[in-house]
């Protein structure tokens, strides 16, 4: 009974450190974020089993903070640990699992490990494409993610297809959501530039500017 109370106390302190670390990372205070998240992880490891999801979330946050600090090798190790725990505890189509894979892929690109990055992106792509949600907003987000992944993989034509689908769904589901519409137009514009379709790029980027002006006016 005493052990359970001790573990509960440890977990409560760990959660506080975890939340402080998240806030510090959001504020751009990455050194402070790393300090708090490291403390949270130590306490989670003392109080919880190795498949604890709270531990995985902290490892993921720590990896992101370390990436910002340029500590890419440490970030990779922590993101891989987070992915391992998520993989054990969550379904294969869970968003956190996909997000961690994308974070790992981006980090591998920074490290020059293009083959490893491609592997991570493909795993994330397959997971997302196999589980498109029925809700229009979630579907639009998924199309946007698929477009981004295909761009990372160098498949620009496929990327354009998904970004176009995302834009279409956003226009149908949230016609007044200027921020997401701006993002879709901007993504499309970048892809059209890569494909050297400059007239189409101009049209898409004009759409992005138009939506940005509406945001400012509102």
Q: Is 51 helix (H, G, I), strand (E, B) or coil?
A: coil
Cα–Cα distance for residue pair 28/42, rounded to 1 Å: 23
Strands (E), the chain: none
The confidence band for 99, taking pLDDT boundaries of 50, 70 and 90, is confident
Residue with tokens 């004009």: 206
pLDDT band at 76 (very low <50, low <70, confident <90, very high): very high
* Listed residue (8, 69, 66) closest to 37, CA to CA: 66
- Under a CB-based contact definition with an 8 Å cutoff, are residues 46 and 11 in contact? no
Q: How far apart are CA 46 and CA 28, in angstroms?
A: 28
Average pLDDT over residues 111-123: 90
Residue 214 has pLDDT above 70, yes or no: no
- Stretch(es) of the chain classified as CATH 1.25.40.10: 1-131, 134-218
- Give the residue with greater pLDDT, 4 vs 10: 10
Share of the chain above pLDDT 90, in %: 46
Instruction: Give the pLDDT band of residue 5 (cuts 50, 70, 90).
Output: very low
The class (CATH top level) of 134-218 is mainly alpha
Residue with tokens 């993610």: 145
Give Rg (Cα) of the chain: 20
Here the tokens at position 43 are 């306490």
pLDDT digits (tens, 9 = 90+) for 41-57: 999 888 766 558 899 99
| pLDDT score at 126 | 85
Mean pLDDT of the region 4-33: 87
Model-wide pTM > 0.75: no
pLDDT of res. 218 = 42
Looking at CATH, the fold of the domain delimited by 1-131 is given as: 1.25.40
Q: What is the mean pLDDT of residues 59-82?
A: 95
User: Residue 39 above 90 pLDDT?
Assistant: yes
Answer with the residue of higher pLDDT: 166 or 91: 166
Q: What's the rounded Cα separation, in Å, for the pair 212 and 133?
A: 28
DSSP state of 71: -
Tell me the pLDDT band of 211, cut-offs 50, 70 and 90: low
**Euclidean distance between CA atoms 209 and 183, whole angstroms:** 10
* 5 Cβ neighbours under 8 A, 6+ residues apart: none
Exposure letters 117-149 (e unless 16+ CB within 10 A, then b):
bbebbebbbebbeeeeeeeeeebbbbbbbbbbb
Sign (positive or negative) of CA dihedral 194, 196, 198, 201? negative
User: What does the pLDDT read at residue 26?
Assistant: 93
Q: What is the pLDDT of residues 120-146, one digit of tens each?
A: 998 888 888 877 777 888 888 888 888
């Amino acid at each position: 009974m005493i052990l359970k109370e001790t573990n509960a106390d440890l977990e409560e302190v760990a959660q506080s450190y975890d939340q402080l670390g998240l806030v510090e990372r959001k504020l751009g205070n990455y050194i402070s974020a790393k300090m708090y998240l490291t403390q949270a992880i130590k306490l989670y490891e003392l109080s919880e089993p190795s498949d604890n999801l709270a531990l995985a979330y902290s490892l993921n946050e720590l990896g992101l903070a370390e990436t910002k600090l340029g500590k890419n090798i440490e970030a990779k190790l922590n993101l891989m640990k987070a992915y391992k725990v998520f993989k054990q505890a969550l379904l294969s189509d869970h968003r956190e699992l996909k997000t961690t894979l994308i974070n790992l892929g981006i980090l591998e690109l920074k490290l020059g490990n293009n083959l490893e990055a491609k592997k991570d992106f493909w795993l994330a792509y397959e997971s997302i494409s196999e589980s498109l949600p029925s809700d229009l907003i979630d579907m639009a987000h998924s199309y946007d993610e698929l477009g981004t992944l295909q761009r990372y993989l160098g498949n620009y034509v496929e990327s354009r297809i998904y970004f176009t689908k995302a834009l279409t769904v956003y226009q149908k589901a949230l016609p007044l959501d200027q921020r997401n519409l701006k993002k879709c137009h901007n993504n499309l514009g970048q892809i059209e530039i890569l494909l050297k379709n400059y007239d189409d790029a101009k049209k898409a980027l004009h759409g992005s500017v138009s939506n940005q002006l509406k945001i400012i006016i509102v």
